[in-house]
Chains A and B, each alone.
Chain A
Amino acid sequence: MHEDLYKTRAAPETEKRQFEDEALETLWEILERSGQASSGGQAPLERLTSELKDEPAILGMQKDGLLTIKDGKVAFTEPGRLRARDITRRHRLAERLFADILALPEYEVDACRFEHAISTEVEEAICTFLGHPPTCPHNRPIPRGKCCKLYTSKVTPLVASLADSHVGEEFKVVFLRTPMIDRLAGIGLVPGAVIKLIQKRPSYVVKVDETTIAVEEEVAKGIFVKKA
């Protein structure tokens, strides 16, 4: 693993690798928007070239076995898809980390640079630390990693669902993932709001400003918070 890292430190290699990452990530996003990221669909080549402005390099990626290009349409090869998934995951995790925890205003730019630099171990540690967030700050899904499936953590997550938080404490809402999202927003429970967990049993009772609400565990599991 470490040997790999050293190898890719060579300057032209790194540059090439970074370009490939960008291209893969862009294609992932294009496919995601048309709802075919997971199924391995295809997109018009010109959409990719118009965004990256380096057609020869993209065509080169076909040779490297990352993409297939046919009749002006571009698709992932299986290794390409896996790498795209990985890089997208890292990018979005980095966004979460920078936006929610470090509260950096320019988190998007930083995330773009950060995504190329981290190893799988770092990525998993961040994911666990953030409580395996399901979406990035733009509400796009973060592809699941190994750590999300295992859900075992040595690191205490800084962001945890309300169901894993302590009664009586105040929290800041980081993100929401529940069909109740509009209802919760209706009473002011949105990302950024400060809430207090009153009790967990027999139902969850939460105070937002001067409003008290009761929800069941399923909903509480979708409210992700960090300590206020």
Chain B
Amino acid sequence: MSGKLTGRGVSGAGARDGKMPGASRAKEPLKSIVLIGNPNVGKSVVFGLLTGKYVTVSNYPGTTVEVSHGNMSLGGRRYLVVDTPGVNNLLPMSEDERVTRDILLAGRPDLVVQVGDMKNLKRTLCITIQLAEMGLPAVLDLNMEDEAMDSGITVDKEALAGILGITVVGTVAPERRGVKELIAAILKGATAPEVIVDYGGAEEYVGKIASFLPPSHISGRSIALMVLAGDKSLAGWLKANLDDEAIEAIEALRDECALKLGAPMGLYINEARLKKAAQIAAGVFQKVPRRENRLVSILGKATIHPLWGFPFLLLVLFGLYEFVGVFGAGTLVDFFEHFIFGRYLNPMFTKVFGLVPVPFLRDLFVGRYGVITMALTYSIAIVLPITTTFFIAFSILEDSGYLPRLAIMTNRFFNMMGLSGKAVLPMVLGLGCGTMAVMTTRILEGKRDRLIAIFLLALAIPCSAQLGVILGMLSALSMKALAIWLLCVISILLVSGWLAARILPGERSEFFMEIPPLRKPALRNVALKTMNRAVWYLKEAVPLFILGTLVLFVLDKLDMLRLMERAASPVVVGVLGLPPKTADAFIIGFLRRDYGAAGLFEMSRQGLLTHLQSLVSIVTITLFIPCLASFFIIVKEKGFKVALAMLAIITPAAVVVGGIMNWVLRYFNVSV
């Protein structure tokens, strides 16, 4: 990690603070509250409760990769609440963890609410210790009290509060239990926890290094410990705040200390903290072993079983196919498209606009490329029901905790593509939405892993809208077609991942992942999440659908469309063996892949495509360039050059693969 990049990251966090919503409007400065905690302990749920703002909540570590801000009004005061990605250590090891540390370092939180898993008190306390070292005022929220009780765990909160010198509350956030007490604790204000860890032989060096450090919002002792532990991401901050001489002196001290103690300092410091945490926990933590819930323990085993895990995965996929492909893309789309739009809305609007004397305007809304007859019909009647059913199924999977278990099953598979099993998370999330998934790659350690994952996402992972449409088209063909499509996409993933892994320098990071417990998805969260995603879809996709339609409309009116279709025909007709009109679908596919897919869906339903042509077009559009939104997010995460390079590889690759498919299917006379 280069110092320059890091420096920007740290100051970036500060700059973002300056732009915090409402900061300039409020008369007195907003007090800021930062939520900190281990991964997957429910920070986002607590955030939602405090601010009334929904941020995605799921049952796996790494759901929150970006910082969210929200406002809270309490007792006449307004607070700014910040939700952060989970960390196990304030010594960052991946990009999402760095974000959190930087907020504590460069942002100036007035209060830290540490959310912890009551079951995992030791790990929770490791962070409390670090907050104590930083000297940040904190309140400790031990969440998931219900799960702790189910597994026979009790924590003496009062005794713990006595030891730590801060307020400790127990909550069950999804049920709002204990939230009143939490808010009361926040209102009361807080001081820094009082825990002191003795680092033995390192103490001397901690003191010496701290004496070189500039005054900061957090204590010099804590920064000195970060330096000693070998935190390279601090380099930028040090460079910005100290002269070269001081940095050299600090580095010399760090090396001397490591030499003297003869141990990796990161581990040395960590062990000292864990020891202290265990010592505190021993006095307040009690566990009476209880028998596990039968169903949960059977499912827990089956989902990761070396043998049964795979049939289980197939079962899940089959369920997804039935629900999204058959029910969503079949039954629901039929209902919306043929019944609501076909029988009522479109005829009605056609009649209404029929009264408009200007043919141009009439065509604009209800013509062949009309905003209502095409853009709204596609987006609302075809894609919305599909994405909504997908989001429902997906939310259930997310909240159950099944997705990270997939990583266990698929690690070897991902190894072949130069990735670790952890990459399964962004990949599967990519089936929901590519933009979201590209951001989630931040949970991967190592830049190389991230780059490969983003490339594969852009190339071969269809997003929910596209996937739904594709499943809908395939369900109208045959199981054989589905199998061919699946096989083709998976081999493309494998081959391109394999190639990328060999071309890019460096090595993949080793597989390490926390597996959350299986949980029963809460109906409320599934509904809320689906709603949020559907609304987000409408906001994001519909305008682009309308824009795409307008482009087609204008091209059509200028008679350019025919020319473009003809210009594209050597590729579309010659290579891919598709009717010239499919060029339309690929043109709008540049805006959104799912819109292109919807165009193909429509053509296939109208019988304009043979089965073979359907299959070829589906494969091509699956691989086709990423949608505009995910292109922009790739630019944001990896820079314009990388994004453009990906585009330059992906588009021709899609056509080539489609062409090969067309040729092979025809040559061997395969009927699908």
Report yes or no: A191 in contact with B411, Cβ–Cβ below 8 A.
Answer: no
Please count how many residues in chain B sit with their CB below 8 Å of the partner chain's CB atoms: 44
B147 (CB) vs chain A CBs: closest residue: A210
Report yes or no: A181 in contact with B411, Cβ–Cβ below 8 A.
Answer: no
User: Which residues on the B side are within 8 Å of A180 (C-beta)?
Assistant: 510, 512
Question: Which residues, 179 to 196 on A, are CB-close (under 8 Å) to B?
Answer: 179-188, 190-191
B104 within 8 A of A: no
B93 within 8 A of A: yes
Q: How big is the A interface, by class?
A: 20 to 34
A154 to chain B, nearest CB (A): 31
A210 (CB) vs chain B CBs: closest residue: B119
A106 to chain B, nearest CB (A): 17
B270 (CB) vs chain A CBs: closest residue: A185
A156 within 8 A of B: no
B-binding segment of A20-28, A70-78, A117-125, A211-219: A211-219
Report yes or no: A219 in contact with B515, Cβ–Cβ below 8 A.
Answer: no
* CB-contact partner of A187 in B153, B259, B412, B514, under 8 A: B514
Q: Given contacts A210-B117, A213-B513, A216-B510, is CB(A202)–CB(B271) below 8 Å?
A: no
Report yes or no: A188 in contact with B274, Cβ–Cβ below 8 A.
Answer: yes
User: Which residues on the A side are within 8 Å of B15 (C-beta)?
Assistant: none
> Quick one: CB contact mask for B258-273 with A, threshold 8 Å, 1 for yes?
0101111011001100
User: Which residues on the B side are within 8 Å of A202 (C-beta)?
Assistant: 306, 309, 408-412
> Quick one: CB contact mask for A157-191 with B, threshold 8 Å, 1 for yes?
00000000000000000001011111111111011
User: Which residues on the B side are within 8 Å of A140 (C-beta)?
Assistant: 262
User: Which residues on the B side are within 8 Å of A216 (C-beta)?
Assistant: 411, 415, 420-421, 510-511
A25 to chain B, nearest CB (A): 14
User: Which residues on the B side are within 8 Å of A14 (C-beta)?
Assistant: none
* CB-contact partner of B511 in A138, A184, A214, under 8 A: A214
B496 within 8 A of A: no
B599 to chain A, nearest CB (A): 40
User: Which residues on the A side are within 8 Å of B448 (C-beta)?
Assistant: none
A148 within 8 A of B: no
Q: Given contacts A181-B266, A186-B89, A219-B512, is CB(A205)–CB(B259) below 8 Å?
A: no
How many contacts between A and B, using CB within 8 angstroms?
A: 117
Q: Given contacts A182-B93, A183-B93, A202-B412, is CB(A215)–CB(B271) below 8 Å?
A: no
Query: In the docked arrangement, what's the CA distance between A155 and B249, Å?
Result: 50
B33 within 8 A of A: no
> Quick one: CB contact mask for A9-51 with B, threshold 8 Å, 1 for yes?
0000000000000000000000001000000000000000000
Report yes or no: A190 in contact with B271, Cβ–Cβ below 8 A.
Answer: yes
Question: Which residues, 594 to 631 on B, are CB-close (under 8 Å) to A?
Answer: none
Query: In the docked arrangement, what's the CA distance between A139 and B265, Å?
Result: 11
User: Which residues on the B side are within 8 Å of A153 (C-beta)?
Assistant: none
Query: In the docked arrangement, what's the CA distance between A164 and B420, Å?
Result: 22
B413 (CB) vs chain A CBs: closest residue: A202
Q: Given contacts A187-B88, A215-B512, is CB(A210)–CB(B120) below 8 Å?
A: yes
A7 within 8 A of B: no
B151 within 8 A of A: yes
B304 within 8 A of A: yes
Question: Which residues, 204 to 228 on A, are CB-close (under 8 Å) to B?
Answer: 205, 209-216, 218-219
A181 (CB) vs chain B CBs: closest residue: B267
Query: Quick one: which of A33, A188, A210, A213 has the most chain B CB within 10 A?
Result: A210
* CB-contact partner of A199 in B117, B151, B306, B517, under 8 A: B306
Question: Which residues, 226 to 277 on B, are CB-close (under 8 Å) to A?
Answer: 259, 261-264, 266-267, 270-271, 274
User: Which residues on the A side are within 8 Å of B89 (C-beta)?
Assistant: 182, 185-186
B439 within 8 A of A: no
Query: In the docked arrangement, what's the CA distance between A33 and B263, Å?
Result: 12
Name A's B-contacting residues (CB within 8 A).
33, 138-140, 176, 178-188, 190-191, 199, 201-203, 205, 209-216, 218-219
| Contact sample, A vs B, 9 pairs, CB 8 Å cutoff | A33-B262, A180-B510, A183-B93, A186-B88, A199-B306, A202-B408, A209-B120, A214-B411, A218-B510
**Given A203-B421, A214-B407, A219-B511, 15 other A-B residues pairs in contact with their CB atoms under 8 A:** A139-B263, A176-B267, A179-B510, A180-B512, A181-B264, A181-B267, A185-B271, A187-B88, A199-B304, A202-B410, A202-B412, A212-B517, A213-B514, A214-B404, A215-B511
Lowest 6 CB-CB distances: which A-B pairs, in order?
A186-B88, A216-B511, A210-B119, A185-B270, A201-B306, A212-B515
